[in-house]
């Protein structure tokens, strides 16, 4: 079937294909791409699948299948979604009985961003090969996105990745993941902050002197990352024997993950509601509570991957749901830094589960729903493995989490990184020299 994609800002009224939306990233009027019509996914398509990729194939076929040669979408999805996504019981005590964790961190870089990034990379590679074109992906990252994107795109023909991270401002293990030597990927350690990295990338996109370089981005405003993220909601919903439809609690920053859940719901997945669990970056909970809320600068917290003051996917949610329906469907919670560390301890004590700081924000949000009398089933999305945040686990719990072998392997692996000042002319020259066409 042919889903068309339109801009949240009303431009491209006729809509573009998925291929166009994916490769453009952002609509020409500056808006985000949203589906002009949402296909209804018959329940049997997702309730009967034995694996995530087996679920993914018929579901995404309903959305975008007509844009692929026969069999191509299926092989992309089989290759991208080749890791388990277990639904783990984690109830008990103040967290209630029917509480589960959907562990999204079993991919190669141990964060949920592997799902979207691996799939998007292969989708892009497919369309670029068909067009005979090349692309350079620029990513500014403060942690998980960069390594998931670099890993997802590494070694794919026709795509080069340049990733920029603020030197010394990511966790030690995250840095090892970022500078891991990968074919087709250059890591730049920028002498500056995350905002400096983002500024350099934005300047490059707007620079008329680089207009001839085929540049694109891979952050969560790209619809190509969101469609695959719907799949694990359907998967989680299909795994449980629920007494009533579950609620999903989503540790949130840029609101991409939550937007994907809302898309899954609008395409037919029953839910009681969503809970948007935020840290001290609390624009969205305040908005949902009816406060006069505005985007602001980001605040540093222990759940650093959610330190987003201006969540770009809010514009998408706002388009998908009118204000009244949004407030009925989504509840917001703000969890401060002390409550995050306290939740890491309480979750461990009451349920035995070891939650990373992001997942702990989700648990605390669930605890508050329980305290308010909600006994319905809950699924907390676990967005990262605790071993990615060793220092914070140690601070909260007094011990270091076990390091999975594939994370420990980064310590011994070959690295490749170039230090660079936060200086646009130097960055531009680097892009010119690095681009294959120059």
Tell me which residues touch ligand PLP (CB under 6 A). Answer: 111, 113, 144, 220, 251-257, 305-306, 358, 383-384
Whether 113 is catalytic is yes
Question: Among residues 113, 181, 202, 388, which one is catalytic?
Answer: 113
Residue with smaller CB distance to ligand PLP, 214 or 316: 316
Other beta carbons less than 10 A from residue 382's beta carbon? 29
- Encode 303-334: b = buried (16+ Cβ within 10 Å), e = exposed: bbbbbbeebbbbbbbebbbeeeebeebbbbbb
Nearest approach in angstroms of CB 224 to ligand PLP is 14
Q: Which is nearer to ligand PLP, 354 or 384 (CB)?
A: 384
CA separation for the pair 121, 222 (Å, rounded): 11
**How are the residues of the chain apportioned to helix, strand and coil, as percentages rounded to the nearest 5?**
45, 15, 40
Q: How far is the CB of 344 from ligand PLP (least distance, A)?
A: 14
Least separation in angstroms between CB 337 and ligand PLP: 15
Shortest Cβ distance from residue 143 to ligand PLP (Å)? Answer: 7
Closest CA to 300 of 166, 187, 178: 166
Instruction: Kindly state the smallest distance separating residue 144's Cβ from ligand PLP, in Å.
Output: 3
Closest by CA to 159, choosing from 201, 200, 117, is 117
Nearer to ligand PLP, 33 or 68 (CB): 33
DSSP three-state, residue 218: coil
Which CB, 267 or 313, lies closer to ligand PLP? 313
Nearer to ligand PLP, 216 or 281 (CB): 281
Name the residue nearer to ligand PLP (CB basis): 298 or 351: 298
Q: Distance between CA 275 and CA 33 in Å, rounded?
A: 24
DSSP conformational letter for 399: S
Q: Is 163 left (phi over 0), alpha (psi -120 to 50) or beta?
A: beta
The full length of the chain comes to 438
CB of 430 vs ligand PLP, minimal distance in Å = 26
Spatial CB neighbours of 321, under 8 Å, sequence gap ≥ 6: 262, 329, 330
Enzyme catalytic residues? 113
């Amino acid at each position: 079937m042919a889903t068309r994609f339109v801009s949240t800002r009303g431009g491209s009224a006729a809509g573009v294909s998925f291929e166009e939306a994916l490769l453009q990233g952002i609509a020409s009027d500056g808006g985000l791409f949203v589906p002009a019509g949402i296909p209804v996914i018959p329940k049997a398509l997702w309730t009967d699948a034995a694996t995530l990729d087996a679920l993914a194939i018929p579901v995404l076929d309903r959305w975008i299948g007509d844009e692929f040669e026969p069999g191509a979408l299926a092989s992309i999805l089989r290759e991208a979604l080749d890791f388990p996504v277990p639904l783990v019981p984690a109830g008990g005590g103040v967290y209630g009985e029917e509480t589960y964790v959907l562990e999204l961190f079993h991919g190669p870089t141990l964060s949920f961003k592997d799902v979207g990034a691996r799939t998007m990379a292969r989708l892009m590679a497919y369309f670029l090969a068909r067009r005979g074109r090349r692309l350079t992906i620029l990513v500014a990252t403060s942690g998980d996105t960069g390594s998931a994107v670099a890993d997802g795109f590494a070694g794919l023909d026709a795509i080069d990745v340049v990733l920029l991270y603020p030197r010394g401002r990511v966790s030690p293990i995250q840095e090892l993941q970022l500078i891991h030597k990968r074919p087709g990927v250059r890591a730049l350690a920028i002498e500056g902050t995350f905002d400096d990295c983002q500024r350099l990338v934005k300047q490059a996109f707007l620079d008329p002197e680089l207009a001839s370089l085929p540049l694109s981005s891979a952050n969560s405003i790209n619809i190509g990352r969101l469609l695959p993220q719907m799949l694990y909601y359907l998967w989680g919903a299909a795994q449980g024997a629920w007494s009533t439809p579950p609620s999903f609690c989503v540790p949130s920053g840029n609101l991409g993950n939550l937007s994907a859940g809302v898309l899954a719901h609008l395409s037919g997945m029953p839910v009681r509601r969503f809970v948007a669990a935020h840290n001290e970056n609390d624009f969205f909970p305040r908005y949902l509570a009816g406060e006069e809320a505005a985007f602001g600068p980001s605040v540093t917290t222990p759940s650093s991957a959610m330190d987003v003051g201006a969540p770009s996917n809010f514009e998408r949610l706002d388009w998908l749901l009118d204000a009244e329906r949004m407030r009925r469907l989504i509840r917001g919670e703000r969890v401060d830094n002390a409550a995050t560390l306290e939740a890491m301890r309480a979750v461990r004590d009451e349920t035995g589960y070891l939650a990373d700081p992001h997942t702990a924000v989700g648990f605390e949000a669930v605890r508050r729903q329980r305290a308010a009398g909600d006994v319905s089933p809950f699924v907390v999305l676990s967005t990262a493995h605790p071993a990615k945040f060793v220092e914070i686990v140690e601070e909260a719990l007094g011990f270091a989490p076990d390091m999975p072998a594939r994370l420990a392997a980064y310590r011994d692996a070959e690295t490749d990184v170039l230090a660079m000042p936060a200086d646009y002319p130097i960055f531009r020259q680097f892009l010119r020299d690095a681009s294959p066409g120059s």
